[in-house]
């Protein structure tokens, strides 16, 4: 099946944060460097998915593996972006819990022949929770303007994407069951929010204040 134009735009949007991360890597702080690496992984993820789909090979397993990378990397990004030790401990705890849940899912529940919508929802929920915690912790820091801080844009991107796609990924198998056209129509939401998230990540990496 041919990829819709918007889908192609969404694919192209992954190159934006990845290229920004590569070019600005030296000037980035630790958290943004992790994000830059994540963006490179995201690029690889979509490239692999496209290549496999072009060969009519089911690519759900890639998403399953990418999910743990994305969540743990974002967890690390937030971990290094916040200062309070208590918040860091919470983020680390969430990361570990998610890894355990994902491990259990991969070992016992996931068959890789369909989208693991449950795990997708859980990962979105974890990212959403971690984003909100990181944003809340960032707000307490009154040293500089919020929009000048990379973590704000990264958290915003993650919140928008995770909250907007929470329901979508949860019902993705049901949508697929309804038909390809329904799925694609609904999946536009995912693409839109991914484009927005990628732009926000890019903005985060381009922020001058990398302290």
Partner 1 sequence: MQVAGVEILWAVVGGSAILLILAIGYVVVLVQSHRRVMQAQQAKLEEVRTSEEKFRGIFDNSLAGIMKFSVDTWAISDANEAIMDLCGCSSLEDLQSCMSKLPRSSLESIHDSVTKYGFIAEYEIRTTRKDGGELWMLFSAKKMENGPSAQAVVVDITKRKQFEEKIKEQRALLDQTQDAIMVVDYDGTVTFWNAGAEMMYGWSRDEMTGRVLEELLYGGARRKDFQEAMEDIHRFKEWNGEHYHTRKDGKEILVESRWRTVAKAFNGKLQILIVNSDITEKKRLESQFIRAQKMESVALLTGGMAHDLQNILAPIAMSIHLLEPKVHDEPGLAILKAVGESAQSGLDLVKNILTYGRGIAGERAAVNVIHVVDQVLSLVERGLPESVHLERKLSGQTPSVLGDVNQLKQVFLNLCVNARDAMPAGGVLTVAIANIDADEGLLEYNPHADRGPYVVTSVADTGTGIREEDVDRIFEPFFTTREQGSGTGLGLSIAQGIVKSHKGFITVQSVVGEGTTFRVYLPALVEPVS
Nearer to partner 1, 40 or 171 (CB): 171
Least distance in angstroms from the C-beta of 142 to partner 1 = 5
Least distance in angstroms from the C-beta of 132 to partner 1 = 7
Q: Does 179 bind partner 1 (CB under 8 A)?
A: yes
Q: Does 186 bind partner 1 (CB under 8 A)?
A: yes
Least distance in angstroms from the C-beta of 135 to partner 1 = 6
C-beta neighbour count of 135 within 10 angstroms: 20
Q: Which residue, among 18, 25, 10, 72, has the nearest Cα to 42 in the 3D structure?
A: 18
Residues 133-162 that bind partner 1 (CB under 8 A): 135-136, 139, 142, 145-146, 156, 159-160, 162
Q: Does 189 bind partner 1 (CB under 8 A)?
A: yes
Q: Does 175 bind partner 1 (CB under 8 A)?
A: yes
Span near partner 1 by CB under 8 A; candidates 83-91, 96-104, 106-114, 132-140: 132-140
Residues of this chain that bind partner 1 (CB under 8 A)? 128, 132, 135-136, 139, 142, 145-146, 156, 159-160, 162-168, 171, 174-175, 178-179, 182, 185-186, 189, 193
């Amino acid at each position: 099946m041919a990829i819709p134009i918007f889908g192609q735009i969404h694919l192209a949007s992954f190159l934006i944060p990845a290229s920004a991360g590569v070019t600005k890597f030296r000037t980035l702080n630790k958290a943004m460097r992790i994000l830059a690496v994540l963006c490179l992984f995201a690029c690889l993820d979509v490239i692999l998915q496209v290549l496999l789909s072009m060969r009519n090979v089911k690519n759900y397993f890639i998403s399953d593996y990418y999910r743990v990378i994305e969540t743990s990397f974002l967890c690390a990004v937030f971990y290094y972006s916040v200062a309070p030790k208590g918040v860091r401990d919470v983020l680390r705890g969430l990361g570990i819990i998610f890894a355990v849940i994902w491990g259990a899912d991969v070992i016992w529940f996931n068959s890789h022949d369909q989208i693991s919508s449950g795990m997708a929802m859980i990962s979105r929920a974890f990212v959403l929770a971690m984003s909100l915690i990181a944003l809340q912790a960032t707000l307490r820091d009154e040293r500089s303007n919020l929009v000048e801080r990379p973590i704000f844009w990264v958290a915003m991107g993650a919140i928008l994407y995770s909250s907007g796609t929470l329901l979508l990924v949860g019902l993705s198998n049901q949508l697929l069951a309804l038909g390809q056209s329904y799925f694609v129509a609904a999946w536009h939401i995912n693409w839109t929010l991914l484009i927005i998230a990628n732009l926000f990540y890019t903005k985060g990496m381009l922020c001058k204040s990398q302290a």
